[in-house]
Structure 1
Amino acid sequence: MAKIGFLGAGNMGNGMALRLLEAGHTVQVYNRTQSKLAPLVGRGAIAKNSAREAAESAEAIFAMVGDDIASQAVWLGDEGALAATNSSNKPLIIECSTLSHSWVMELSRNVADRGLQYIDCPVTGLPEAALSGALTLFLGGSKSVISMAQDYLRPISSKQIHFGEIGAGTAYKLVVNLMGSIQIAATAEALLVAERAGLDLNMVAEALGTGGSGSPQVANNSKLMVAGDHETNVVFSSNWRLKDTRYGVDFAGQLGQASLLGTVAQELFQRLVDAGFADSAESKIIDVLRVQSDK
């Protein structure tokens, strides 16, 4: 089995690192908030004080962090993971975070300049899927490198989709997340119309989630919107939804494709975050639309 460096022990990273441990790998893990490492250390992971330390002597290095800034922090600089690479330590770099396309391409070039292989590997699935090894991987990179990485990728995934070269996995992730943001905003608007029409909102949520316009986003968020509970067991916060929407809109713009609906969704999530609900569930967007309708 291999020695793996793992950067990030949040809701998703924790489960992914645990799966690698259960597969028999040695996992050296770093997280900015050290207290979050306790559950993994209890299962055999080795806590490290920096990303560089976590990368020492590793055969593969995973990252699962929140955004471009966090990714830059764990990879670059004197204490970043890439500082641990040298002629005798050439780990495979596997970046699983949802990041901007421009940063993914810059990071991959930095990795290539060091003579290392890079896999563009954003994931989809809830924390429960991370814990059970049931994530879907959106892959970009060389087929041969991805094949070589299967001892690391199989333990965390039940499905893998190879979209093309480096950057293609992130391109798809940004597209599908932008679509999700639009769906969430549209669901909120639909429920408010149904509410004014006097319909049973629990029945509406059930019908929306299973009907022709249904999707996991619609099904999950419509129920949360009807319940009005946006603070308990938050799986995906408004702040992260705003980040993903912004990255998606920016990527579309870089390609010369205006994202009209995405821009509206971004504005709505921005209002939600600006109102002090960054840590609330993304479903709370319904309250932004409700206030707007009442004006």
Structure 2
Amino acid sequence: MTRLSGPVAVLGLGTMGSGLATRLLDQGVQVRVWNRTAERTGPLARAGAFAAAHPADAVEGTSAAICTVADGEALGAVLRGPDGILTGGPYPGALVCASTVAPEEVVSLAGNMQSVLDVGMLGNREHARTGELRLFVGGEKRVFTAGRPLLDLLGKEVVHLGELGSGMRMKLLLNLLMGIEVQALAEAVELAAATGLDRKLVLSTIAGSGFASPVMSFKSKRLAAGRFDKPDFRLRLMAKDLMLAADQAAEAGLRLPLAAAAAETHIRATEQGFGDEDCVAVAHALTPNPGSHT
């Protein structure tokens, strides 16, 4: 078992944060957790984690802090807001930003901190719980080397990409692909239903074909059941990430028509009230009567 130099804080207990905290506890690591909605800390506290009242409390005495909050605004509040990690001065441990935000935002929020890594995580909640994530990391090489024992506990593959912000760039590329794939699947199924084909037969055919990625095969089960609750990845977060990818393309002078179309559709579905459902609920934005996908 890999030994760490001290307790680890996990800030943000959504799908991935809860999984990461569970994984660390299972590996015998002392864990301190914080979440904006305090009741989410309950199951982890019962499993042995210390539930902190605020971010600064969560990182007290820790060797590393993992931030897995929803967006840049939340990350800024955790780092520099009232009772934030950095409000009392520099954090002496390794700060791991695993929230998906703009690469430039990671650099800006890190400021003059020396021990910061940004990590793009590839995988789902079960991968997080079992240490089967693939982790793509940005930051100084010496910081990456020092943080490697922690990262090895969390992922089956750990790749250092380069300077701070590189992890987020890779994560946005991966989510761009997933957003387009899932929307393409939803569009194909809606066309099938509109032209008289059986929705579930079409989905099983796609899932078993050479056209289907593992993501398509997985999401086809949700579409077949018409169940978008208990999300693996929330629609509104996919919309946010697609917009971030579109912004990156614009800054680079690129025109990405598929990315732009996917971002627009995801935003429309979010505005229709489906933002907290699984990202496959983008299908709601494809029909004149949102909600009819059973």
TM-score, length basis structure 2 = 0.90
The runs of 5 or more residues in structure 2 that have no matched partner are none
Report the counterpart of residue 132 of structure 2 in structure 1.
134
Report the counterpart of residue 238 of structure 1 in structure 2.
235
> How far does residue 174 in structure 1 lie from its aligned partner after superposition?
0.4
CA contact (8 A) 1:202 1:223 kept: no
1:76-95 map, 5 Å: 76-86=80-90, 90-95=92-97
CA contact (8 A) 1:95 1:121 kept: yes
> How far does residue 236 in structure 1 lie from its aligned partner after superposition?
1.9
Deviations 1:224-266 (A, max 9, x none): 22322223x2222221111111111111112111221111111
Report the counterpart of residue 104 of structure 1 in structure 2.
106
> How far does residue 71 in structure 1 lie from its aligned partner after superposition?
0.6
CA contact (8 A) 2:123 2:133 kept: yes
CA contact (8 A) 1:104 1:167 kept: yes
Q: Which amino acid aligns with 1:149?
A: G
SS in 2 for 1:15: helix
Deviations 1:67-88 (A, max 9, x none): 11111110113411123444xx
Q: Which amino acid aligns with 1:101?
A: P
Q: Which amino acid aligns with 2:226?
A: G
Report the counterpart of residue 123 of structure 1 in structure 2.
121
Alpha-carbon distance change, 84 to 46 in structure 1, aligned in 2, over 3 angstroms? farther
CA contact (8 A) 2:15 2:125 kept: yes
1:92-241 map, 5 Å: 92-108=94-110, 110=111, 113-114=112-113, 116-231=114-229, 233-241=230-238
Q: Determine the C-alpha separation between the residues in 2 that align with 1:46 and 1:96.
A: 21
With 91-100 and 186-195 compared, the bigger mean Cα shift is at: 186-195
SS in 2 for 1:98: coil
Q: Which amino acid aligns with 1:141?
A: G
Deviations 1:202-224 (A, max 9, x none): 33223323433221222122332
Q: How many residues are treated as equivalent by the alignment?
A: 286
Q: Determine the C-alpha separation between the residues in 1 that align with 2:258 and 2:72.
A: 24
Report the counterpart of residue 247 of structure 1 in structure 2.
244
Q: Percent identity?
A: 31
Q: Which amino acid aligns with 1:80?
A: G
SS in 2 for 1:149: helix
SS in 2 for 1:202: helix
Report the counterpart of residue 13 of structure 2 in structure 1.
9
Superposition RMSD in Å: 2.0
Report the counterpart of residue 262 of structure 1 in structure 2.
259
CA contact (8 A) 2:122 2:135 kept: yes
CA contact (8 A) 2:20 2:154 kept: yes
Q: Which amino acid aligns with 1:199?
A: L
Report the counterpart of residue 57 of structure 1 in structure 2.
61
Match 1:20 to one of 14, 21, 24: 24
SS in 2 for 1:163: strand
Deviations 1:161-181 (A, max 9, x none): 222221111111101101211
The runs of 5 or more residues in structure 1 that have no matched partner are none
> How far does residue 197 in structure 1 lie from its aligned partner after superposition?
4.1
Q: Determine the C-alpha separation between the residues in 1 that align with 2:178 and 2:30.
A: 36
TM-score, length basis structure 1 = 0.90
